[in-house]
Amino acid sequence: MGDQRDTILIVDDDEFNRELLGEFLDILGYASVSASNGHEALDRLSPDISAVLLDVMMPHLDGFEVTRRIRLHNTCSDIPIILVTALTNLENKLQGVEAGANDFISKPIDLTELRIRLNAQIKMRHATLALAAVHDQELAIAAEIQSTFLQGLPPVNIPGVSIAAFTKSSAKIDGDFYHFFAYNGRHLDIAVGDVMGKGIQAAVLGAAVKSAIQKAISRSLVLSMGELPCVEDIVRRIHRDMTPHLIQLETFVTLAYMRVDLDLKCLSLVDCGHTGLINYRLRDSHCGVLHGDNLPLGVVAHETHSATVVPFESGDIFVLYSDGITESENSEGEFFGELRLAAIVKEKHACGTEGILQAIRSAVLDFTGTSPMADDQTCVVLKIDES
C-alpha cells in the first residue's frame, strides 16, 4: 500500500465496536480515525479520508441519514461508504443504496470479508482519483491551447480604433471564441461566437468554427481578386462549411460577424442568432442594441445571410458580448440583461476600451455576488477614436 496508509473513518456509537474495528484496520494496514455519532463523523470528514465504515443503528442521526449528508458534502461526496449493520432484510439494504452507500458489511464483522470489501472500494477510489487527475491535466492543457488559439490578443496597431476583449469560462474550458482580422489598416473584421454546451467538445467545435472563419476569409480574398469581400459572403462560406457537421452533431453555434470600415465610416453586422450589438453614439448620447435576423449556424442547411449597416462617428462605441453576461443571474434569479449592459457603456463612454471592459466585468460580478457562473462570459469593446 506504499509508505502512506489509507485512512478509514469509523463511525459507531459503541466504543467497543470502534476499538475492535480500529484493531482490524491496523492488522489490514490501514490507519483509522473514529467518531461516536453522526454529527462528529460529519465534522471529521475530509478529502484525506479514503473510506467510511458507518454503523446504521445510531441515535439522533442514523447511518442512512449520515450517508445522505456525506453525498451532499462539497468536497467529500465521492468517498466510499460501507454500512456496518446487523440488518439483513432487503428493504434496509435498498434504503442504504438509495441513501448512497457503496457496500455493506454484516455484524458480527468477519476480518476476511472486511479486507475484501474495503480493498475493493479503496482500489476503486484510487482509480477514480487517478482518472480525475489525468482529466484535470488534459483540461489544463486544453485551456492553455484555447487561450492561445481561440482568443488571442486584439490588434493594437490600427489607427482610428481601440479594442479590448476578455473571456471567462464557467468551466475550465468553454466554447466561446473571438477572432480579429485586419485587412489594410482601414478595415477590421471581428467575430464573436458561442458554441452550445461546455467543456472539451464545445472548445473543439469553437476551434473548428474559428478555423472555418479564417479559411472563409482567405478564400473570399482569393476569389475577389484583391477586392475586399463583403461580410455576407464570408458568413455564407462559414455557414456552408460548418452547418452540415453541426447538424450531424445536433448542436449549433451563434455568431456575430462585423466589419469596421474606417474609410466609409460604417460598420456592417451579420448576426447569426447571437446576442446583439451594443451601439453608443457620442453625438446624441443614444445607446441601443442592434439585432440581426439570421439563424445560428447548424440550425438549417440553407440560409440567406444579410448584413445590417450602421454609420459611425468619432467617439462611438460598439460592444459584442455573449449571453453569459446578459443572462448572469443574481440570488433572486434576475438576469443582468441588455439594459444594464447598455447603461454601463453609456455611463463609461468617456473611458478607454479597457476601462469600459473592466466596468462591465465589475458590474456583473457585483450583480451576481456569490452566485456561480452558469455560462461562459465573453465581451469585445471597440471604440472609434475621437479626432
Do 93 and 179 share a domain, yes or no? no
- 162 and 129, same structural domain? no
Average pLDDT, consecutive stretches of 10 residues, N- to C-terminus, the chain (387 residues): 77 91 91 93 92 90 91 89 81 83 86 89 84 70 58 76 85 75 88 83 82 88 82 94 92 94 94 93 94 92 92 95 90 91 94 94 90 78 84
Q: 117: domain CATH number?
A: 3.40.50.2300
**Judgement on whether residues 302 and 271 belong to the same structural domain of the protein:** yes
Which pLDDT score, from 0 to 100, does residue 143 have?
60
Strands 7-11 and 49-55: parallel
Structural domain includes residue 140: no
CATH of the domain at 359: 3.60.40.10
Domain boundary among 109, 135, 161: 135
Q: Is the pTM here over 0.85, yes or no?
A: no
Indicate the number of domains in the chain: 2
Domain-embedded: residue 206: yes
Alpha-carbon distance values, 90 to 97, 261, 367 (Å): 10, 74, 50
My answer on whether 20 and 131 are in the same domain is yes
**pLDDT number for residue 288:** 92
* Contacts with 243 (C-beta within 8 Å, 6 or more apart), sequence order: 297, 298, 299, 300, 301, 303
Query: Does residue 147 lie within any of the structural domains?
Result: no
Do 63 and 180 lie in a common domain? no
Tens digits of residue pLDDT in 111-129 = 888 899 898 888 888 888 8
The last residue of a domain, from among 68, 101, 135: 135
Cα 34 → chain centroid: 38
Residue 204's pLDDT is 78
pLDDT value at position 2?
45
- Same-domain status, 227 and 331: yes
* CA–CA gap between residue 89 and residue 104 (Å, rounded): 12
144 domain-assigned: no
Q: Does a structural domain hold residue 15? A: yes
**295 assigned to some structural domain:** yes
Residues 56 and 172 in one domain: no
Domain that holds residue 338: 152-384
**179, 257 Cβ separation under 8 angstroms:** no
List the grid coordinates of 212.
472555418
122 plus 203 within the same structural domain:
no
- pLDDT value for 1: 41
- Does 141 map to a domain? no
Contacts of 146 (CB under 8 A, 6+ apart): 173, 174, 203, 206, 207
Query: Both 92 and 190 in a single domain?
Result: no
Q: Is residue 143 part of a domain?
A: no
Cis previous bond, 311, omega within 30 = no
Are residues 298 and 361 both part of a single domain?
yes
Q: Are residues 126 and 230 in the same domain?
A: no
List residues bridging with 142 in a β-sheet.
none
- Phi/psi of residue 137, each to 5°? -65, -40
List phi, psi (to 5°) of 5: -85, 145
User: Is 49 found in the same domain as 194?
Assistant: no
pLDDT of residue 8: 93
Domain C-terminal end among 106, 135, 164: 135
| pLDDT, tens only, 240-282 | 999 999 999 899 999 999 999 999 999 999 999 999 899 999 9
